[in-house]
């Protein structure tokens, strides 16, 4: 008697062969979405940088479901409030990442300014502060030792002096009670630099340091966001050479450059790349707003500029909104066109099949085809399926029609569901809904 497991394997194999043959026999601008298998849950890669008060943002937190939040400077002098805010993050299952250099003293970055002595010269004050923080917060947070130590603006010392400073922080944490379980990340350099990262890992290896999460910043455009995929691959290959460091994952503390901060497609490209290479996550960087004098999204409680200073939603907010919606029930999809970025999913009540779509190449037309299994097919009692297409464009403030509906029509629900979408540009993010 044939087992149920064997039957299931045969069905899955036949579906895969059918999908592959459909792709190979047609043009590359074809997308196949599989409705025959159950949607899968996905962990969010979304993170934010800095805040003033979390309480006014709780509604957005619930809707956008961020997983990481990196902060420090605003709470350096208020340990009671800092602990309260950390507890709010934990309530929403958000991983707090605290920047130790921000807490140490952001206003006196290095000794030439007449401030503190660099921790590599005299570690006592830095180590004492870290031990106190760990006693207060323990394993609730991830400790990011220093922000962009490869830049003079926020370090001013040599590379070797930073490595020594990292060791000071590492030893202070590991020597604390249960400190072996502390989560430490670094080096937080301003861009991907394989030579720098290798030197950092060499230092950690020579001094028997344990690094939980490897990181670097990626403050670029769409091209950089795609290149991030290769950089993560290179970093993963490098990590294999240092098993003694016990590196568990890769995380990008800051993503999206200043000129791209309001660009929905750039943001989506970063999220897509982080997911594709199984990075832990990425926090959207905050910047001065070039069009509004005096506005800086680090310090105005705007979720790094996806809200205006008055709390109005910018278009990039909607990318996070639909991304959060997609996490509960992702669908399988296939295409040979590497310029298409696609996240198909069932919405929360499973009444709609949705697709987040981005195109990083030239303008193109795309055919969408759906594989269905009549036993669990959600539209099986409908003779027609409604298709709605929305566009998220780069605009500063929310308007009532955002996301903008650009198409609405019905298609026949027969043996196959398929439809075409024309003139997909490389500037916007598209949301497609089938119900």
- Asked if residue 13 is part of any domain, the answer here is no
Q: Going along 35-94, which residue ranges are E strands?
A: 46-49, 68-71
Instruction: Let me know whether 297 and 344 are in one domain.
Output: no
User: Do 187 and 116 share a structural domain?
Assistant: yes
Identify whether 18 is part of a domain.
Answer: no
Residue 1 falls inside a structural domain: no
Domain boundary among 308, 326, 344: 326
Using only C-alpha atoms, the chain has a radius of gyration, in whole angstroms, of: 24
Describe the chain by its helix, strand, coil percentages, rounded to 5. Answer: 35, 25, 40
Q: How confident is the model at residue 400 (pLDDT cuts 50, 70, 90)?
A: very low
161 assigned to some structural domain: yes
Q: What is the pLDDT of residues 206-230, one digit of tens each?
A: 999 999 999 999 999 999 999 999 9
Report pLDDT digits (tens) over 297-321.
999 999 999 999 889 999 999 999 9
- Show which of 270, 299, 326 is a domain's final residue: 326
In a domain, 56, yes or no: yes
**pLDDT tops 90 at residue 58:** yes
Q: Which residue has the higher pLDDT, 319 or 397?
A: 319
The string of DSSP codes covering 298-347 is: TTTTSTTTTB-TTSPBPHHHHHHHHHHHHTSSB-EEE-S-TTEEEEEEE-
Position 22 scores a pLDDT of 45
CATH for 118: 3.20.20.80
Domain closes at, from 298, 326, 354? 326
| 258 and 348 within one domain | no
Q: Which residues contact 77 (CB under 8 A, 6 or more apart)?
A: none
Name the residue with tokens 């278009």.
Answer: 315
Residue range 103-126, pLDDT digits in tens: 987 544 455 555 557 888 889 989
Q: Do 206 and 344 share a structural domain?
A: no
Tell me: do 191 and 215 sit in the same domain. Answer: yes
Closest Cα to residue 110, out of 70, 148, 55, 53?
148
Asked if residue 176 is part of any domain, the answer here is yes
Domain match, 401 and 367 both:
yes
Read off the CATH number of the domain in which 353 is found. Answer: 2.60.40.1180
Do the domain assignments include residue 9? no
Domain count, the chain: 2
Look at residues 328, 435, 348, 430 and name the one whose alpha carbon lies nearest to residue 31. Answer: 430
Mean pLDDT of the chain: 89
- Kindly state whether residues 300 and 361 are assigned to the same domain: no
Domain-located, residue 220: yes
The reported pLDDT for the residue numbered 2 is 53
Pick from 99, 115, 108: nearest CA to 187: 99
Domain that holds residue 334: 23-41+329-434
Angle, CA 170 vertex, CA 168 and CA 173 arms, to 5°: 105
pLDDT tens digits, one per residue of 275-304: 999 999 999 999 998 888 888 999 999 999
Would you state the pLDDT for residue 399? 45
Is 289 found in the same domain as 229? yes
pTM for the complete prediction?
A: 0.91
């Amino acid at each position: 008697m044939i087992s149920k497991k064997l039957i299931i394997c045969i069905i899955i194999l036949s579906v895969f062969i059918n999908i592959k043959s459909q792709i190979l026999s047609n043009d590359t601008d074809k997308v196949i979405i599989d409705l025959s298998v159950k949607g899968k849950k996905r962990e969010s890669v979304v993170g934010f940088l800095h805040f003033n008060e979390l309480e006014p943002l709780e509604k957005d937190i619930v809707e956008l479901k961020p997983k990481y939040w990196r902060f420090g400077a605003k709470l350096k002098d208020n340990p009671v409030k800092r602990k309260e805010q950390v507890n709010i993050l934990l309530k929403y299952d958000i991983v707090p990442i605290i920047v130790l250099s921000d807490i140490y003293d952001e206003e006196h970055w290095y000794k030439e300014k007449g401030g503190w002595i660099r921790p590599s010269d005299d570690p006592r004050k830095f180590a004492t502060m870290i031990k106190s923080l760990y006693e207060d917060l323990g394993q609730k947070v991830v400790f990011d030792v220093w922000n962009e130590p490869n830049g003079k603006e926020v370090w001013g010392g040599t590379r070797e002096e930073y490595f020594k400073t990292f060791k000071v922080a590492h030893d202070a944490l590991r020597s604390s009670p249960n400190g072996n379980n502390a989560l430490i990340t670094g080096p937080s350099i301003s861009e991907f630099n394989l030579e720098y990262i290798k030197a950092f890992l060499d230092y950690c290896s020579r001094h028997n340091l344990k690094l939980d999460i490897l990181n670097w910043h990626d403050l670029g455009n769409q091209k950089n966001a795609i290149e991030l995929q290769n950089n993560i691959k290179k970093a993963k290959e490098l990590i294999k050479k240092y098993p003694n460091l016990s590196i568990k994952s890769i995380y990008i503390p800051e993503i999206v450059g200043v000129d791209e901060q309001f660009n929905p497609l750039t943001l989506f490209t970063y999220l897509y790349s982080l997911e594709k290479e199984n990075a832990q996550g990425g926090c959207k960087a905050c910047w001065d707003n070039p069009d509004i004098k005096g506005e800086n999204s680090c310090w105005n409680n705007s979720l790094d500029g996806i809200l205006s200073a008055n709390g109005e939603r910018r278009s990039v907010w909607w990318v996070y909104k639909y991304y959060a919606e997609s996490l509960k029930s992702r669908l399988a999809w296939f295409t040979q066109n590497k310029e298409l970025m696609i996240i198909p999913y069932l919405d929360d009540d499973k009444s709609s099949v949705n697709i987040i779509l981005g195109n990083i190449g030239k303008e193109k037309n795309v055919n969408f085809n759906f594989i269905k299994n009549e036993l669990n097919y959600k539209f099986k009692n409908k003779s027609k399926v409604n298709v709605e297409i929305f566009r998220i464009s780069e605009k500063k403030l929310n308007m009532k029609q955002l996301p903008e509906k650009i198409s609405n029509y019905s298609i026949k629900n027969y043996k196959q569901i398929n439809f075409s979408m024309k003139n997909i540009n490389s500037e916007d993010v598209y949301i497609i809904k089938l119900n």
